Structure 1
Amino acid sequence: MSKIGFIGLGIMGRPMAGHLLDAGHEIFTVEHSTPLANELANKGAQVCADPKAVAEQSEVVITMVPDTPDVELVLFGDNGVAAGLKPGTLVIDMSSIAPLATQDFAKRIEKAGGEYVDAPVSGGEGGAINAALTIMVGATQEGFERAKPLLEIMGKTITHIGGHGDGQTCKVANQIVVALTIEAVAEGLLFASKAGADVAKVRESLLGGLAQSKILDVHGERMIQRTFDPGFKIKLHQKDLNLALEGARSLNLSLPGTANAQQLFQACAANGGADWDHAGILRALEKLADHEVGQ
C-alpha cells in the first residue's frame, strides 16, 4: 500500500480520495475550511499543514484543483509540493488545466526529482462516486505504469494518450464535445416542448435511436426535472472552453460551435448561474425562446 498525498477535496476529489482510502492506501491532505477533509479524516486520512508537508509524507501526490493557477500554486508556491518532494515521488495532476502549462510543470517536477503524470478525468460527480471515471493520461511509459494501479481504483477507462500535456489536450477535446452535446440536447428538448410534445416521451424515444447518448440520458433528465444543482459547474466548463478557444487561436483554428456554447454559458453566468450544473445551459436557451421546457 502507498502513502498518497491528495490535494483538492471538492465535489469530485473527495470521493476519489475515499476510494483510495477504501483500497487500503494512506492518505495525507491539507487543512481544509469545509467539513470535507474531516469526513475523510474519520476514515483515516491525515491532515497536514501545507502541500510541502503532504509531499514530505508521501510516495505519490495527487492534485485535483480547479484551474491552472491553482495547480501551479499547490506545486510551486510557498511551501508547495516541490519544496517537500522526495526523489522519485510520483506527482499525478488530475485537474483540467492548460496543456502547455502542464508541459512546463512536468519539466519543473522532473528537475526537482519527481515523475509527472497529467491525468484529467471525465464523468462528473457520479463517475467519481462510482469509481467509473474516464481518465486521459499524458506521461512517460514508466510514469503511466506507475500511476495506472492507482488510477484504476478511481476510474473505469484509463487511456495513455501520449506524452506530457496530451492528457490535458484530450480533456479539452472532451469538454468541447460535452458542451456541444449538452447544447444539442437542450435545443432538441426545447423545440419539442415549444411544439407541444411530451418532452419526457420525446427523450425516451430518442434514447432508442441514433441520438442516444449518456448526456441525453443524464442531462436530459436533469433538464426535464429541472435539477440544476451541480455535478459539474458552469463556471468550470467555461474555464475548460476558454482553454479550447485559446488553444484554437494559437493553432489558427476556428471552433464556432465551441464559441457559441461558451456564449450560452456566459449568459447563464450573467443571470446568476455560474454555479448551476452545466445542464443549466437550457435556461439560456429558454430565455431566448421565452418558453420553459415542460410548461
Structure 2
Amino acid sequence: MTEKKLSVGFIGLGIMGQHMAGHILAAGHPLNIYNRTRAKGDALVARGAKWCDGPGAVAEASDITITIVGYPADVEQIYLSEGGLIAKARPGSVLIDMTTSSPALAAKIAQVALARGVSALDAPVSGGDIGAKAGKLAIMLGGDPESFERVLPVLELMGGNIALMGKAGAGQHTKMANQIAIASTMLAVAESISYADAAGLEPMQVLKVIGTGAASSFLLNGLGPKMVDEDFAPGFFIHHFVKDMTIALNEAERLGLDLPGLALARSLYLKLVDEGFGEEGTQALYRAYNAIHAEAR
C-alpha cells in the first residue's frame, strides 16, 4: 500500500517560492497555497494546488505549513496574529519559516507554537532563484530534531544541502553568516571587474581566467558576467538583501562584533535603493562602481 502523502501548505509565491512549491506539488503532496497577490498562484492551481483565502486557512488544511515571505514584520503578522498560523494550525503539525528573518523572532515563534502543541522550525535558504528552480537550495534549520526528521523528506524536494544547526534561531544565525560572506564577496567581484575595465582589459576574459583560480566562487563565475553585461534582472532583490544585512548588523552589534565589510556593502546597496534600483538583482552593486569609475574619467 502506498503511504499517504502529508498535506503541505505554502505561503509566499515569489521568485523562489513558485519553484519550491512546484517541487512539492510535483512529488504528489496535496498542496494548499496562499499569496497576497492571488495571480501568482494561478499556475499552481492549474496543476492541482488548492487556493486558500488566508494564512490561517492554509494552516488549518495542512500537516506542514511553509512560509517564505518578505520581512520579519510579515513573518510576525502571519505567525503570531489572531487567526494566524499558530492560532489555526492543526495540533501536532509543523510550521517552517524559510524567510530570512530575525533569530530572536524565530525563537519567539517556536516558543509560542510549542505552547499550543505545534512545532515551528526556522529554515532560511540560500541559492536564489537558480537553486530554487533546480531544487538544490542550501537549507539551514533551527529547532527540535524530531520535527526536523519528520519534515526532512519534504525539505529534500527543495534542497540539496540540508542541515539542522541547533535550537530555534540557529537557522537564522547561519543565514546571517551566509549573507555576511556574500556581502563582502559582492564588493570584491564588483571591484575586480571595475579594476580590470579601468586597466584596459577585457573584463569577461579576465573573469574566465581568474574564475578557475583561487578567486573562483559562485558569485564571481555566476554574477560576475552579469555585471559585465549590465544584466541586473533579479534573482534576489536588492531591497531584500538590504533587509538581511540590516538584521546581520543588528545581531553583530548585540554580539559585540565590528563588521566593516558588511557595513560598507550595506551602505552602497542603500544608495542603490535610494536611486530606485531596489527591485534589481544584487549584481547591480556594479552600478555603484560604474558611477565611481565614470567620475574618475
* Partner of residue 87 from structure 1, selected from 85, 91, 109: 91
Flag structure 1 segments of 5+ consecutive residues without an equivalent: none
Flag structure 2 segments of 5+ consecutive residues without an equivalent: none
Structure 1 residue 33, shift from structure 2 partner: 2.3
Question: Alignment length, in residue pairs?
Answer: 293
Structure 1 residue 139, shift from structure 2 partner: 1.4
Amino acid at match of 1:166: A
* Partner of residue 165 from structure 2, selected from 152, 161, 167: 161
Segments of 4+ in structure 1 off by > 3 A?
Answer: none
**What is the TM-score when the length of structure 1 is the normalising length?**
0.97
Asked if 1:63 is matched to 2:60, the reply is no
After superposition, the C-alpha distances for 1:255-282 in whole angstroms (9 at most, x for unaligned) are 0000000011011112111111001111
Q: Percent of aligned positions with the same letter in both sequences? A: 38
Amino acid at match of 1:143: S
Does the 8 Å CA contact 1:264/1:285 hold for their aligned counterparts? no
Partner of 1:117: 121
Partner of 2:280: 276
Structure 1 residue 32, shift from structure 2 partner: 4.0
Q: Distance in 1 between matches of 2:174 and 2:6?
A: 28
Superposition pairs of residues 133-172 of structure 1, within 5 angstroms: 133-172=137-176
Partner of 1:102: 106
Partner of 1:235: 239
Distance 1:31 1:202, change over 3 A: closer
* Partner of residue 136 from structure 2, selected from 115, 132, 136: 132
After superposition, the C-alpha distances for 1:1-42 in whole angstroms (9 at most, x for unaligned) are 111110111110110000000000011112542522011101
* Partner of residue 72 from structure 1, selected from 68, 71, 76: 76
Q: Distance in 2 between matches of 1:84 and 1:65?
A: 18
Structure 1 residue 225, shift from structure 2 partner: 1.5
Q: Over the residues paired in the alignment, what is the CA RMSD in angstroms?
A: 1.4
Distance 1:198 1:65, change over 3 A: same
Amino acid at match of 1:72: E
**What is the TM-score when the length of structure 2 is the normalising length?**
0.96
Partner of 2:51: 47
Structure 1 residue 78, shift from structure 2 partner: 3.6
Q: Distance in 2 between matches of 1:117 and 1:171?
A: 14
